[in-house]
Amino acid sequence: SEHGDIDQVLSDCDIIIDQVYHTKACQQTMMETMRTYCSIDTYGRLNVFSSTQIVFHCRRIIANALHIPKSQVRVSKPRIGGGFGTKQTAVCEVYPAYVTWMTKKPSKIIFTREECMTASSPRHEMEMHVKLGAMKDGTIRGIDLYTISNTGAYGEHGPTTVGLSGHKSIPLYGKAEAFRFVYDVVYTNVMSSGAYRGYGATQGIFALESAVSELAAKIGMDPTKIREMNMVREGDVMPAYYGETANSCALDRCLARAKEMLKWDEKYPCKDMGNGKVRSVGVSMAMQGSGISGVDVGSATIKLNDDGLYTLSIAAADMGTGCDTILAQMAAECLECSIDDIMVSGADTDTSPYDSGSYASSSTYVTGKAVERACEKLKGRILNKAAQMMEIDSADNLEFDGKKVSDPESGKEISLVDISTASMVNNNETFQVTETNSSPVSPPPFMVGMVEIELDKETGHIEILDYVAVVDCGTPVNPNLARVQVEGGLGQGIGMALYEGVDYTLNGYVKQNSFMQYKVPSRVDVGKLRVEFESSYEPTGPFGAKSIGEIVINTPSPAIADAVFNATGLWIRELPITSEKIAMGLMEQK
C-alpha cells in the first residue's frame, strides 16, 4: 500500500536511515501443550474436546479434512492453559478426529513439550528493509518498508501476518507525508508459522522503532523528543491504517508519563558505573488493533434463569486472558447485579452463538459489545414482563435496580425472582437474547515502553533493572487483569529480545527442542516491571474499552536495542540481542 510520492519525498530529505532488521521464529511456550480428545456421541456425531482458541474454525477445518458435513462435528473447549496464538491454528485436532471417525472409538492426542517445539506453529521469521527519510530538525517525512516473511512449509497464516508488520507500525508516525509498504511471503522447508501474540506487528515495530531511534542518534536528538514531534495524536486520520481516524489516542500522555516514571531526563543516554558496567535507557512506542475490522464476529447469549440468576453463553475462548471474567463483569454492570449472579458457559459449537474465536485482540472489544447489547435487550424484556404483571400499560417509566422493578407513579414493585418464576407459567415472552457484533473499525491501543539496563562491557551481558510501560487501552474494564496481561506480554517480549529464537541444524532438525535449549526468561530475568494506564475513551468499544492482549509484547525489542546503543554505540539489528553479539561488536569497535 502507498500514500503520497515516497520516492520524491525521500530524494528531498536531509537524512535517510536505510537499514535491514531481522527477527527470528519464536515459540509461544504456553504452559499447557496442545491436546485433543475425541469421541462419538449417542447420535453418531463426532465430539471434539480440544485446547483451542477457535471452536468454530476448528469445526470447519475438521469437517473439511474428513469430508463430512459440519453438522456432524461438535467442538468444545475446557479451561485451557495458555495459547498466545498457537491454539489459533488447528495443529493437533485433525489426527484424533480422523482416528475416531474411522474407528468410532474414543481417541486422544497430547503433545509433549518436544512435539510442541518441533511440530507446532511459531512466530514468522521476518526481514524488514526500512528507508526512513527526515529533515535535520527531526521531522520524519517518508517511510518505505519492505518485509519478507518466512511462512515455513505451509501458508496457513502466510498472507495475513505479514500485513501487520506495516499496517501496525507505520501509522505511529502519522505526520509523515508519504509511505510505501510492500511485502513478500516465501515458503521454506521449516516449521509452518502461525499466530503468536503481536502477529507481525511485533516484527514491524522492532524494525521501524529501531530505525527511528537510529535517526535520533544520527541527528543528535533525544529519541523521546523525535517521537513527541512525529507521533500520531487523537483526531488524526491514519492513511497507513486503512484510513481510520484515531478517535481515542493517549500516546502523547503515555510517553510523558513513562518519562516521569523512569526519570528519563536524568538517566538518558547512559551512566558509566566505573566497574566495566554501564547503565543506559531505551524507549519504544507501539500500537496494535482491536479485532479485525469488518471481519471478526463476536456473539453473546444472555438468559434469565427461573431463579433470577443469569447464564451468559459465549464462544470467545478464555485461555487465561480472563475474558470469561471480563464479559461477565460487563453483563453484571449492565444488569446491575453481582458478578456471582452470572454463570458463564464456555465455547461449544452446539450451544454457543457463533464467534470467530479469540484472536486478534478481539474478545473485550468485539464480543464485549455483543454482551452489552444483549443485556440491554434482555433488560427491556424484563421491564415488559413486569409491566404486564403489575397491569401497567407501558414499561417506559419503570425502573430496574437489578433486584426488582418498580413503578415510581403507582409505587408498585415486583422482584426479579417473581418475574423469573412467572416466566415458567402462561408466558409468551422469552428471557433469552442473542446479539452479534462486528465492527467496521479496529481502534488501535497505544503504548510506550522504557527500559533501564546494566550492560557489562567485558562479557556483553545485559541485566534488566527496570521496565516501565504505560498503556492506552481505552478505558480498562478490569485494571487487575489488564495489568497482568501487560506484565506477561513484557516478559515474552523481553525473552524475544534477549534469548529466544528457533534455529535448525544442516539436516533440518530444530536445535531448541526443549526448555533446556529454548530459553524463556524466568521471574529473575525480567527485572522490575511497572505498569500504568493512560485512559482514553473509545466511542465504538464497550464502556469505552479497546484491546490489551497483544500490544503489550511489542515494545521490549526496540527499547532494549536502543538501550544497548546508548550504552555501547552498537546497533544490533538482528534478534535476539545476545551477549555474544555485544561482546564481539565491542571488540570490532576497538
Average confidence score pLDDT of the chain? 96
pLDDT of the residue at 365: 94
Tell me which residue of 40, 36, 64 sits closest to 52, measured CA to CA.
Answer: 36
Instruction: Note if the bond before 269 is cis, omega within 30 degrees.
Output: yes
C-alpha cell at 102: 474411522
Q: Could you give the 3-state DSSP secondary structure of residue 149?
A: strand
pLDDT for 88: 93
Q: How is residue 534 annotated by DSSP?
A: -
Number of helical H runs and strand E runs in the chain: 15, 23
Instruction: Kindly state the DSSP code that residue 363 receives in the 8-state scheme.
Output: I
pLDDT of residue 103: 98
Contact 107, 100 (CB under 8 A): yes
In a 3-state reduction of DSSP, which class is residue 37?
A: strand
Dihedral sign (CA 298, 471, 553, 33): negative
121-172: per-residue pLDDT in tens? 999 999 999 999 999 999 999 999 999 999 999 998 999 999 999 999 999 9
Please check the confidence at residue 283 and state whether its pLDDT lies above 90. Answer: yes
Cβ atoms of 119 and 111 within 8 Å: the answer is: yes
pTM of this structure: 0.96
Per residue in 499-549, pLDDT (tens digit) is 999 999 999 999 999 999 999 999 999 999 999 999 999 999 999 999 999
Measured between alpha carbons, how far is 330 from 438 in angstroms, rounded to an integer? 18
Cα atoms in the Cβ-side hemisphere of radius 13 Å centred on 356: 17
Cell representation of residue 346: 464456555
- In SS3 terms, 85-125 reads as CHHHCCCCCHHHHHHHHHHCCCEEEECCHHHHHHCCCCCCE
pLDDT by residue (tens digit) across 23-35?
999 999 999 999 9
| pLDDT at site 359 | 86
Alpha carbons 342 and 335: distance in angstroms, whole number: 10
Segment 552-578 shows an average pLDDT of 98
Q: What is the pLDDT of residues 423-476, one digit of tens each?
A: 999 988 899 999 999 999 999 999 999 999 999 999 999 999 999 999 999 999
pLDDT at 319: 87
Lowest mean per-residue pLDDT among 17-21, 41-45, 61-65, 78-82: 78-82
**Helical segments of 219-367, H only:** 223-230, 251-262, 264-267, 323-335
441/215 Cα distance (integer angstroms) = 32
Q: Report the half-sphere exposure of 70 (CA within 13 A, side-chain side).
A: 9
Contact indicator for 51, 58 with CB cutoff of 8 Å = no
Mean pLDDT, rounded, for 42-69: 97
Per-residue pLDDT, 151? 97
Element (H or E) spanning 312, and its range?
strand 310-314
What is the C-alpha end-to-end distance of the chain, expressed in Å?
Answer: 43
DSSP 407-475: -TTT--EEEHHHHHHHTTSS-----EEEEEE--S--PPPEEEEEEEEEEETTT--EEEEEEEEEEE-BS
Q: SS3 for 585? A: helix
pLDDT for 266 equals 98
Residue 571: all three cell numbers together: 546497533
Please give the pLDDT value at position 110. Answer: 98
User: Using one digit for the tens of pLDDT, what is the confidence trace for 171-196?
Assistant: 999 889 999 999 999 999 999 999 99
- Say what the pLDDT of residue 2 is: 94
Q: Are 330 and 435 in contact (CB under 8 A)?
A: no
pLDDT tens digits for 235-271?
Answer: 999 999 999 999 999 999 999 999 999 999 999 999 9
Residue 511 DSSP one-character state: S
| pLDDT in the model for residue 471 | 98
| Each residue's pLDDT tens digit, 304-332 | 999 999 999 999 989 888 999 999 999 99
Identify whether the C-beta of residue 497 lies closer than 8 Å to the C-beta of residue 26.
no
Cα 201 to Cα 167: distance, rounded to the nearest angstrom: 8
Asked whether residue 81 carries a pLDDT value surpassing 90, the answer given is: yes
- For residue 432, the model assigns a pLDDT of 96
Other CB atoms within 10 Å distance of the CB of residue 480: 10
